[in-house]
Structure 1
């Protein structure tokens, strides 16, 4: 399910949504690394700042999904999307996958806004990526007959490791991760169809 055997060209043409999302994250990082606009404008206006959201800057519930503070942060989230995203995009189709990804990311950011202090700031696509894991968790728990024992165990293991790492690693938006996982799990039935 998560093994990729396509060439780069096949991957790009087969998984347009995953590729597009990764490209947007990389472009945003490069623009921040080599500012094309003064004052790191993407981070200035795009970082999730709870205080500014409270003042009406609602777009900050969306823009943090595409911003990453370090190359390691971008690499980890990009790699996770590249591995976990294709099977779900193939199942949902590019448009629905994009909608699901953005919805779970936004819901994770809303939870961050509601549950963390106004001084809290955050960036990253982790909430949306945890949403993907939540979708897989829903599938193997409620429609497990569509998957092999190995596939089910892989989903359980990856989800467990991701949750454990959330509490171990420093400077992690725990609320965003867990809310993204819950959002993916709870909204998955809206996208479910019998054929996997």
Structure 2
């Protein structure tokens, strides 16, 4: 079962350096925003990089990256951190930290781009967006590719766990206040990026 963490604190840092860095970055940014206005304060969030579907914010490219490290409330931070801590590490081991970082960050950015485009076109009342969910769903997308096409890399229990998470995530994505388009866009991006990397890096440990 690849989603059960057996590592000690030190070995976790050694095996999953980028995941560890992400966890730290998310926590640090949450504390900064919390003590400078509050994690549910739109002005504080916009100050540190929240996405918004109105100008001038939606044209500021850096927000599509920065918003991945912001969270609206402790519960939001907890659930994304849990997914990173437990579910993401196997993909970092399979891809290696650099390729894993590329997949994670591109999935998050693409999820944000699609999310903003969707909310602008739909005239939604959603004003601002934060969270690592798009990037995390990119990890899910990469793991789904493995479950479907590299079955020797994932045991049956892990596949069942992943499918259950994806089904629950799909249902959860359509609850009020959840950026479902970021989830969908991130998952699709992660799935295709993993497949592309598999072809680009033939002969590697992938």
From 66, 75, 90, the counterpart of 1:63: 66
From 36, 50, 55, the counterpart of 1:52: 55
CA distance in 2, matches of 1:17, 1:78: 13
Q: Normalized against structure 2, the TM-score is what?
A: 0.85
Q: Offset at 1:34?
A: 1.6
From 130, 152, 165, the counterpart of 2:159: 152
Q: 2:86: which partner in 1?
A: 83
Q: Normalized against structure 1, the TM-score is what?
A: 0.89
Q: Offset at 1:184?
A: 1.1
Q: Offset at 1:13?
A: 2.1
From 150, 156, 176, the counterpart of 1:143: 150
CA distance in 2, matches of 1:186, 1:54: 29
- Does 2:186 match 1:180? yes
Other structure's SS at 1:58 match: coil
CA distance in 2, matches of 1:53, 1:92: 37
Q: Offset at 1:132?
A: 0.5
Q: Offset at 1:41?
A: 5.4
| Structure 2: unaligned runs, 5 residues or longer | none
| Structure 1: unaligned runs, 5 residues or longer | none
Residues 2 and 84, structure 1, Cα contact 8 Å, conserved in 2: yes
Q: Offset at 1:140?
A: 1.0
- Does 2:101 match 1:98? yes
Distance 1:113 1:146, change over 3 A: same
Aligned residues between the structures? 193
Q: 1:2: which partner in 2?
A: 3
